[in-house]
């Protein structure tokens, strides 16, 4: 299916949404955007695209609406809040939900929208801002064949990997929170390892070089400890994101009384970092909870 002339809406132009909107535009879609920060939408217009004042206005122009906000509460606001999209969406339109949420909430949202004649894709995303901007991120999706048919190639325009994990909502969100379990634990472990090295007087740059070329390396160690070495805690993904996401992991497991000892410990570490005032810093700032170490300073 050709993308030329097809209108797609993107609500939420944060680190991921901005890149996704750009990928859609490069693929030939007519892209309509909205964000609570007017300047974010205006910047997108400068590069081509149409800024709308609300999700409802986006919905009037588009039969595919992609929501890239932080959590379930913000998604509810996009759909059902003042000037929300749901009542403005045409019957047969599809709502693509890209947030990390409770899988049961996603299942319930699918039913709520289906009852309104709106199709739904449970489509959490992963890969970070750089991969979103280049169209190389991963989408973990689940939904009906009708929803996939309606979306056409829009998912492929935004991602290098689009996984279809089920024919109804829930599976995408389950796989995403398992990914977040690993991501959160790996960041916490990377911070602990670097902190021990600093405590023991190992040169931080040398430790980073050795570990990233040894069996103990992880993608998160390589990526996030580079932020620590640069003393740059600009939030690409914030500490508070993992307070939320690991909380979802634990809530899901608690419902079936399934033990997650590593996730529980990592969650407490992010909670401690947030309480100490680092919640809006990059998630690598979890290293700041360790006492008696001197972190690298800005060069």
- CA 110, CA 165: separation in Å to the nearest integer? 15
Task: Give whole-number Cα distances, 260 to 86, 168, 186, in Å.
Answer: 37, 27, 14
> Nearest-CA neighbor of 155 among 114, 72, 69, 94?
94
β-bridge partners, 65: 9, 95
Catalytic (active-site) positions? 176
DSSP assigned state of 30: E
- Report strand pairing: 94-97 vs 119-122: parallel
- CA 219, CA 223: separation in Å to the nearest integer? 6
């Amino acid at each position: 299916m050709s993308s030329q002339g097809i209108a797609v809406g993107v609500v939420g132009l944060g680190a991921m949404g901005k890149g996704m909107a750009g990928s859609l535009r490069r693929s030939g879609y007519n892209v309509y955007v909205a964000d609570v920060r007017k300047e974010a939408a205006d910047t997108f217009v400068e590069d081509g695209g149409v800024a709308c004042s609300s999700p409802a206005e986006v919905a009037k122009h588009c039969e595919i609406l992609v929501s890239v906000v932080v959590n379930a509460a913000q998604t509810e606001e996009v759909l059902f809040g003042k000037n929300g999209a749901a009542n403005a969406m045409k019957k047969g339109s599809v709502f693509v939900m890209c947030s990390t949420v409770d899988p049961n909430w996603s299942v319930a949202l699918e039913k709520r929208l289906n009852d309104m004649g709106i199709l739904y894709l449970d489509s959490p995303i992963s890969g970070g801002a750089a991969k979103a901007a280049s169209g190389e991120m991963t989408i973990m999706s689940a939904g009906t064949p009708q929803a996939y048919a309606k979306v056409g190639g829009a998912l492929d325009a935004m991602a290098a990997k689009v996984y279809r994990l089920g024919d109804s909502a829930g599976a995408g969100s389950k796989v995403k929170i398992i990914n977040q379990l690993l991501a959160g634990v790996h960041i916490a472990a990377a911070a602990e390892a670097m902190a021990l090295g600093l405590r023991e007087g190992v040169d931080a740059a040398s430790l980073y070089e050795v570990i990233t070329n040894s069996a103990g390396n992880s993608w998160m160690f390589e990526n996030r400890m580079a932020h620590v070495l640069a003393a740059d805690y600009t939030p690409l993904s914030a500490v508070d994101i993992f307070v939320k996401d690991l909380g979802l992991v634990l809530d899901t497991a608690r419902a079936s009384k399934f033990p997650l000892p590593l996730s529980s410990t990592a969650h407490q570490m992010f909670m401690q970092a947030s309480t100490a005032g680092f919640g809006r810093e990059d998630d690598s700032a979890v290293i700041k909870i360790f006492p008696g170490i001197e972190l690298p300073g800005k060069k």
